[in-house]
Structure 1
């Protein structure tokens, strides 16, 4: 009779309730899956304890197993795998951070201004399109082969870009390069999530973002050598990343034959998502530049894109066996708001990284090297602030304070940046960038925790890939929207006699960059003022975008962070197994002792 005794514990609230069945003799080290509406059943032949919890954000850690259970010891296998991830992050960051300062040199060399904005947006769009697809593939084929394939695609695109003889050639090459870069970016976040528990991840994610700071000086190569070296340098870097990943990233791969794995790929969902992303970017690229916002050429692709995105969401709920987007991110308020805030932060962050160097080149007549130096606070400090905030999250186990601080700093920072002009002092130029960099970096490391905390560990890979997709897609939108704002402003502000000298059908702003220094006064001053007003218009819009991000954070909840990871993709040569098994055995023995004492008392 004693062996069949169980303890029934009920805990309810007015919102909802989740029923969890947990064994008292063999408790799960992972605890129940946090979900707002699902039932988690951990079956056992031993006596069970029933408990109902009702947090709309997440179920708490199972009481029988403390949340502070010893985490695995991190040995050489872990650190070498983590180093491989950081190297891949550095390689993929090289182009995003280097191209903006080199764009005038590229335009001058290839004599192409009509499609110059696509040099940046083609990379980010292809990158965004590939991130959820590679995340889906990684859940089926494993992390390592997808990372290696992404590195090879990136290297191929870099080789094609280095030899580009026209703007069209370069844009196609950048698209191939972006496909590889997107896969590397998405896989880096997923692999770190596989190896490090959420409660410990702040410092590791923060250090990974430091690779962006290390990669931010690449644009200076266009001053010291040809802009083609921006792409040539990727070849040995990619080779090194491939070698390091192939040799040291030894993580588990799901079993199964190729045919069964291909059948699991979410082909339809990825098609809907990629097609929607491409059409939305085409619409925004044309809006206000080639066609009016009300023109059918703008509205038709935009409406089609929205319809495809809606169809994607519905399809993901009902059909795929391995969905690209876990449904938890839609039904959980905090997770959903974190995705929206991530999208908004992507728009604001790329606007400062991509367009501030152009401001210095146009208004201060700076060379690519000088503009890179002037932009150091915004280009380099984002990563250190992200790293420091990761340490804070690691120690405090809370992500909302940093999210609030990041949004407030962004609103203030963009307010200051929007008033920069030719007469702005060095102190104002530096201080404004530091404020924006602080807000951006803090949000980059805070928002992923708001997504991951409510999501079950086995679905974190897909959730992180979808978040990375939204961040990259938003950067595409950020480049496109900012370019449209700049183009429309300078089109109105440039003197008519100067516009007549620009190539027909060109992007006026980018076409003007290489000509401003040679203009006579007072025409030069008029053009510089007009360009500065165009950049200011961008950052005034970004104040509102950052404000929307703050509203998202207001309605988030602080969800406890877990200490477990998904073992499906753990290290093969795990040096941590003895410690893990010891912790599990200790927890089981403690639970058995508690049960025996309880039965004796009864």
Structure 2
């Protein structure tokens, strides 16, 4: 089974594209596909196909990059993605224990939130740096930074130190996730990358499955600090493999030239808007009233920073983080909105389902990790299936529509969860929700990549990732706010049940999520039942939010257009010599599809 693909070519940028080796040999190359050059490439010139026509896969040999090298590259990329994805969910089952040990109930949301906010804020910056200095050195930097941040987290002696370490981890994780997707897009044709992206997203989902279990096992059996120590050997192995085998184009851009080319205004403004908006949303209603000057200033200035970011990208940046032309196409906008609704649903559900299990169902950290397995295993299986289906047929729209429908249905089913829900109901509902999220990891990205010029592929991919990461961060932060406000609303019920004022204080507001273990210490059966009902009711409000966004995603997915997934490919060249400044006229600024 040949895994070879073309190595970076060194000729004229407008040269005839070379074939990517189509891995599975699932069908004969018919020889009747036209060759599309990326020079002056316009998507609306592609031949239309009947909607029910199956696009046959191809088998094209090219031995310039061997099977073992591609296997080593994919192993290194998979390990890098694995640790980044693992750290998004591994803390979910351990967070109550960590918060209690470090004596900070208010830090519950920020153990996960700091990682996700930094992840979202940094993703486009990493892509911009890789366009300037090349993918390999920037990816190696991200792996090394993740290694160092994991040590900080493992050695944390208080909550501020842990949150700071998680923030640095998030910055590095943003680079890992974005650069891995971009490198796969650089290496393989649009058609073939569906297979490898499906594999990568399968690994992401498996990491999500293992995260709560590993986190719960370490927390119960050893120490929560091993959640972070485990990253070190994985990072080290990935770093060595990338150093030895990754052979993408290296532009050798000078340090000073590269620094001058960085979109500094865009970088600082996107950091500012992300952090300020998410901090404002997190503080509102929980830490401070929504009318508090702190909350209002954070949200208002965050929104103003977004206006400056748009101005910077349009007028100031020579090499922008986010080319605004990609937003002019209706299909592209639909892809971005679907990415947002998907990111909001999948990580929020992975993050808050363990809280439901530990509170309403009185599960231990390890048991809650096992209970969420139906969700993440369905997610993993369907993400891999999506890659195989798209590689085989070339059709992605049907996958997107099915995924958005299942996300809506699955999120709606979670609203039915309560303190007495049966195990069968818990398993079945999670399978539906997880299947929908698994189908949406990368098909919207393929729809986007097939609709933008080759030289904007990295920026479009990073923008897609930024929007999804922003949704993931907002999901955790807003979910925490909704949950805390819900527990505050049920405070009178807890007092009526006869719980002491001190106990009620522990079980409401910002302390509620960190004190789920207190439930098991309540001797009175009726009082314990009232507390579990309060937790389940507060979680129900989170599921309602996810269901509403799921409906939005389903509606918007209807505006994504169908494009031919080409088997022709020219590997992207990075560096300033290959980048066309925004100030120069572009031949293919917009790729609209009626």
What TM-score does the superposition give when structure 1 sets the normalisation length? 0.83
Q: 1:164 corresponds to which residue?
A: 156
The answer to whether the 8 A contact 2:134-2:252 is kept is no
Q: CA deviation at 1:491?
A: 0.8
Q: 1:144 corresponds to which residue?
A: 136
Q: CA deviation at 1:520?
A: 2.4
Q: 1:20 corresponds to which residue?
A: none
The answer to whether the 8 A contact 2:57-2:392 is kept is no
Q: 1:60 corresponds to which residue?
A: 46
Q: CA deviation at 1:299?
A: 2.4
Q: 1:239 corresponds to which residue?
A: 236
Residue by residue, what CA displacement relative to the aligned partner does 1:276-306 show, whole Å, maximum 9, x if unpaired?
0000111110111122334332222112212
Residue by residue, what CA displacement relative to the aligned partner does 1:24-67 show, whole Å, maximum 9, x if unpaired?
x986667355xxxxxx649xxxxxxxxxx8xxx6431699xx99
Gaps of 5+ in 2: 1-13, 19-34, 50-55, 575-594
Residue by residue, what CA displacement relative to the aligned partner does 1:183-220 show, whole Å, maximum 9, x if unpaired?
11111101100111111122111111222243232223
Q: 1:578 corresponds to which residue?
A: none
Q: 1:476 corresponds to which residue?
A: 473
The answer to whether the 8 A contact 1:387-1:445 is kept is no
Q: Which moved more, 1:441-450 or 1:76-85?
A: 76-85
Q: CA deviation at 1:70?
A: 4.1
Structure 2 vs 1, CA of residues 256 and 164 (structure 1 numbering), >3 Å: closer, same or farther? closer
The answer to whether the 8 A contact 2:15-2:37 is kept is no
Please tell me whether residue 301 in structure 1 is matched to residue 298 in structure 2: yes
Please tell me whether residue 514 in structure 1 is matched to residue 514 in structure 2: no
Q: 1:390 corresponds to which residue?
A: 387
Please tell me whether residue 562 in structure 1 is matched to residue 566 in structure 2: yes
Q: 1:36 corresponds to which residue?
A: none
Whole-angstrom distance in 1 between the partners of 2:164 and 2:419? 36
Q: 2:266 corresponds to which residue?
A: 269
What TM-score does the superposition give when structure 2 sets the normalisation length? 0.84
- Which residue, 24, 30, 36 being the options, matches 1:31? 36
- Which residue, 147, 152, 171 being the options, matches 1:179? 171
The answer to whether the 8 A contact 1:346-1:475 is kept is yes
Residue by residue, what CA displacement relative to the aligned partner does 1:555-579 show, whole Å, maximum 9, x if unpaired?
1211222223342349xxxxxxxxx
**How many positions carry a matched residue from both structures?**
525
- Which residue, 529, 540, 546 being the options, matches 2:544? 540
Q: CA deviation at 1:355?
A: 0.3
Q: 1:194 corresponds to which residue?
A: 186
Whole-angstrom distance in 1 between the partners of 2:566 and 2:268? 34
Whole-angstrom distance in 1 between the partners of 2:460 and 2:15? 29
The answer to whether the 8 A contact 2:487-2:508 is kept is no
SS of residue matched to 2:440: helix
Q: CA deviation at 1:506?
A: 6.2
Whole-angstrom distance in 1 between the partners of 2:48 and 2:486? 57
The answer to whether the 8 A contact 1:491-1:508 is kept is no
Please tell me whether residue 370 in structure 1 is matched to residue 384 in structure 2: no
Q: CA deviation at 1:551?
A: 1.7
Structure with larger Rg: 1
Q: 2:3 corresponds to which residue?
A: none
The answer to whether the 8 A contact 2:488-2:508 is kept is no
SS of residue matched to 2:107: coil
Please tell me whether residue 90 in structure 1 is matched to residue 87 in structure 2: no
Gaps of 5+ in 1: 1-24, 34-39, 43-52, 571-602
Whole-angstrom distance in 2 between the partners of 1:131 and 1:405? 28
The answer to whether the 8 A contact 2:16-2:37 is kept is no
Q: 1:317 corresponds to which residue?
A: 314
Q: CA deviation at 1:307?
A: 2.0
Q: 1:19 corresponds to which residue?
A: none
Whole-angstrom distance in 1 between the partners of 2:92 and 2:237? 25
When the two chains are superposed, the root-mean-square deviation of aligned CA atoms in Å is 2.4
Q: 2:412 corresponds to which residue?
A: 415
Q: 1:598 corresponds to which residue?
A: none
Q: CA deviation at 1:349?
A: 0.8
